[in-house]
């Protein structure tokens, strides 16, 4: 085999390697969105207990963006499970009128309900938001907590 044929074969082989590697890994991954909505699991609030002496169940959420966002609203709902379906316990919306810097958070830590008793009750949270980003309204769909948590807090 001549040197010229070897070089040609090696060149063709090197062109096929990236194509085969891409096919093996699947389609290219989509870039992550510039913003996300995080929500905590329902929990008994130590902050409210320490500051006000009240037992309360609470859910927190944050809108986190790596680009500037303005006119942000973050709505958090606290739900409990029941025999005839789930029941909305509390809904609170936090509004931030200004513009936030990239990599900053808009928090909604206001959604809680005072415990009436210590009856075991299962809770979860749902959050959604909207913000003005890059000249248009962006909406974060309903995000639910990962777990339904039983807490000794009847409401």
Q: How much of the chain exceeds pLDDT 70, in percent?
A: 79
Dump strand ranges (E) for 87-135: 87-100, 104-114, 117-133
17 domain residue, yes or no: no
pLDDT of 19 above 50: no
Total structural domains within the chain: 1
121 domain residue, yes or no: yes
Which two three-digit tokens encode residue 31?
Answer: 């870039």
Q: Determine contact, residues 61/125, Cβ cutoff 8 Å.
A: yes
42 domain residue, yes or no: yes
Tell me, yes or no, if the pTM score tops 0.95.
no
Query: In the predicted model, what is the mean pLDDT of residues 84-101?
Result: 94
Rounded distance between C-alpha atoms, residue 130 and residue 141, angstroms:
9
43 domain residue, yes or no: yes
Rounded distance between C-alpha atoms, residue 131 and residue 23, angstroms:
38
Domain that holds residue 49: 35-154
Compute the half-sphere exposure of residue 7: CA atoms within 13 Å on the CB side of its CA: 3
Mean pLDDT of the chain, nearest integer: 85
Residue 21's pLDDT band, with cuts at 50, 70 and 90, is very low
23 domain residue, yes or no: no
Rounded distance between C-alpha atoms, residue 52 and residue 70, angstroms:
32
Rounded distance between C-alpha atoms, residue 53 and residue 68, angstroms:
38
- For residue 133, the domain's CATH number is 2.60.40.3930
146 domain residue, yes or no: yes
């Amino acid at each position: 085999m001549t040197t010229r044929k070897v070089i040609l074969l090696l060149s063709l082989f090197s062109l096929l390697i990236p194509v085969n590697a891409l096919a093996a890994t699947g389609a290219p991954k989509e870039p992550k969105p510039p913003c996300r909505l995080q929500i905590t699991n329902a929990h008994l609030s130590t902050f409210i207990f320490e500051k006000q002496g009240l037992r309360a169940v609470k859910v927190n959420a944050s809108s986190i963006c790596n680009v500037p966002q303005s006119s942000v609203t973050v709505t958090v709902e606290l739900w409990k499970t029941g025999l005839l379906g789930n029941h909305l316990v509390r809904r609170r919306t936090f509004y931030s009128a200004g513009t936030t810097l990239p990599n900053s958070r808009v928090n909604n830590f206001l959604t809680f309900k005072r415990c009436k008793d210590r009856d075991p009750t299962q809770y979860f949270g749902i959050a959604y938001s909207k913000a003005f980003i890059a000249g248009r309204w962006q909406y974060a769909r309903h995000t639910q907590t990962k777990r339904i948590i039983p807490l000794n807090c009847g409401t």
